[in-house]
């Protein structure tokens, strides 16, 4: 936020700091929401989401991850952020601990702190070629007060993807210790150089202690809609807890928006595919230009739409990001904002259209040369 406040009024600044692209939601999705609005879908609605949308999430998960999730396990939330917050609220109380793989989107730490719980960060290791997680360090961080493991894979800001073999070990550890897994899978479609990623949903039984959070924001350029979803275990009691959390906060997601979301899920695969391809090309564009600079250290991200890179001689990412606002008129997010393990890095979002990416990266090349 500090860099954004510093630079956002600057004329001509190219912003790569936010986690979104620069095109509005596609017309077919807007039309479905608009039609529902005009048809009078303007009343109080189901707390857990309208049934056809919950069914469509289940169908989407089957189509893309070959996993069978009963629609009853799906709850529509007012954003991926709210899915995270309400999941933490449902599971974690004061004094509990949540072990979090870091660096990570900072709101995750904030959600844990809001419950007066403790976030224990386990940092990914940067090998200059890739990000790696030492599972022993993850497991050693779990103590008697650990209630959950929070894993965001593919991960913001690093682009790290957890190996399926590691996911199985984490699952076995969580089973044995009776801790929850909270899996944030909002970037599960944004993967490159491999057909797809594995979802924790594929590895666990419906009754097990797993919550998977997701969002409409990234897949269909819908960041401003504020709609997400969560898959909870098959449990009437927990479903009721979640429903209460929705009831006592927003009392549900506007019904006409849910019709737009339904359209995205049912007719949006082609758009999603083209967006991921655009991001893959965007990734290559920024990687090719920045990786040849002698002071820049980076790995080609395998997932998400972020490049998380280091510049030699620049350990203070906040000061450096502000200097780049002045020197290059480009907005990047400082790595220090992403918790332990992030300092010394900058995050660039490459979801923008290629013309904008090209213009911004050329400015960076000049400033970093």
Ligand X SMILES: Cc1ncc(COP(=O)(O)O)c(C=O)c1O
- Which residue ranges make up the site for ligand X (CB under 6 A)? 19, 79-81, 105, 152, 156, 184, 186, 215, 217, 223, 228
CA atoms of 200 and 122, how far apart (whole Å): 19
Nearer to ligand X, 184 or 255 (CB): 184
Shortest Å distance, C-beta 98 to ligand X:
15
Nearer to ligand X, 102 or 198 (CB): 102
Of the candidates 102, 183, 185, the residue with the CA atom closest to the CA atom of residue 138: 102
Of the candidates 59, 113, 127, 66, the residue with the CA atom closest to the CA atom of residue 85: 113
Nearer to ligand X, 81 or 348 (CB): 81
Shortest Å distance, C-beta 78 to ligand X:
9
Beta strands at 296-297 and 228-231: parallel, antiparallel or unpaired: unpaired
Shortest Å distance, C-beta 214 to ligand X:
8
| Preceding amide of 123 cis, omega within 30 | no
Q: Tokens standing for 302?
A: 């395998």
Nearer to ligand X, 81 or 179 (CB): 81
Nearer to ligand X, 217 or 310 (CB): 217
CA atoms of 237 and 218, how far apart (whole Å): 31
What's the sign of the alpha-carbon dihedral 197, 203, 204, 205?
positive
Please identify the residue of the shown chain whose CB is closest to the bound ligand X: 80
Shortest Å distance, C-beta 159 to ligand X:
11
* C-beta neighbour count of 29 within 10 angstroms: 25
Question: CA 84 → CA 29, 160, 211, distances in Å?
Answer: 25, 20, 9
Contact 217, 83 (CB under 8 A): no
Give the full edge-to-edge strand order of the sheet including 333-334. 296-297, 306-311, 345-349, 333-334
Shortest Å distance, C-beta 222 to ligand X:
8
Nearer to ligand X, 215 or 258 (CB): 215
Nearer to ligand X, 253 or 328 (CB): 253
Contact 149, 112 (CB under 8 A): no
Shortest Å distance, C-beta 223 to ligand X:
5
Shortest Å distance, C-beta 25 to ligand X:
13
């Amino acid at each position: 936020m500090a860099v954004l406040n510093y630079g956002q009024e600057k004329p001509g600044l190219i912003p790569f700091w936010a986690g979104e692209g620069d095109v509005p939601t596609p017309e077919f999705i807007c039309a479905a929401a608009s039609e529902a609005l005009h048809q009078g879908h303007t009343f109080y609605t189901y707390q857990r989401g309208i049934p056809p949308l919950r069914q469509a999430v289940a169908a989407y998960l089957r189509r893309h991850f070959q996993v069978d999730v009963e629609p009853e396990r799906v709850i529509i939330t007012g954003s991926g952020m709210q899915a995270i917050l309400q999941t933490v609220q449902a599971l974690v109380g004061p004094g509990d601990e949540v072990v979090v793989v870091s660096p990570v989107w900072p709101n995750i730490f904030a959600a844990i702190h809001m419950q007066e719980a403790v976030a224990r960060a386990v940092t990914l290791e940067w090998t200059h070629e890739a990000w790696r997680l030492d599972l022993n360090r993850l497991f050693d961080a779990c103590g008697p007060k650990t209630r959950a493991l929070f894993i965001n894979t593919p991960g913001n800001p690093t682009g790290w993807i957890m190996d399926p073999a590691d996911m199985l070990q984490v699952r076995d550890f969580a089973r044995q210790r009776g801790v929850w897994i909270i899996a944030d899978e909002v970037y599960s479609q944004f993967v490159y150089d491999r057909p797809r990623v594995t979802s924790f949903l594929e590895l666990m039984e419906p009754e097990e202690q797993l919550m998977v959070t997701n969002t409409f924001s990234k897949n269909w350029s819908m960041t401003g809609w504020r709609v997400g979803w969560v898959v909870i275990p098959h449990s009437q009691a927990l479903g009721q807890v979640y429903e209460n959390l929705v009831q006592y906060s927003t009392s549900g997601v506007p019904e006409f928006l849910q019709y737009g979301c339904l359209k995205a899920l049912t007719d949006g695969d082609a758009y999603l595919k083209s967006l991921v391809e655009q991001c893959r090309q965007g990734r290559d564009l920024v990687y090719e230009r920045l990786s040849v600079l002698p002071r820049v250290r980076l790995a080609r991200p395998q997932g998400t739409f972020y490049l998380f890179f280091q510049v030699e001689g620049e350990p203070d990412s906040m000061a450096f990001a502000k200097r780049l606002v002045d020197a290059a008129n480009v907005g990047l997010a400082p790595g220090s904002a992403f918790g332990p393990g992030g300092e010394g890095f900058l995050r660039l979002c490459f979801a923008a259209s290629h013309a904008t990416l090209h213009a911004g990266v050329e400015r960076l090349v000049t400033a970093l040369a």
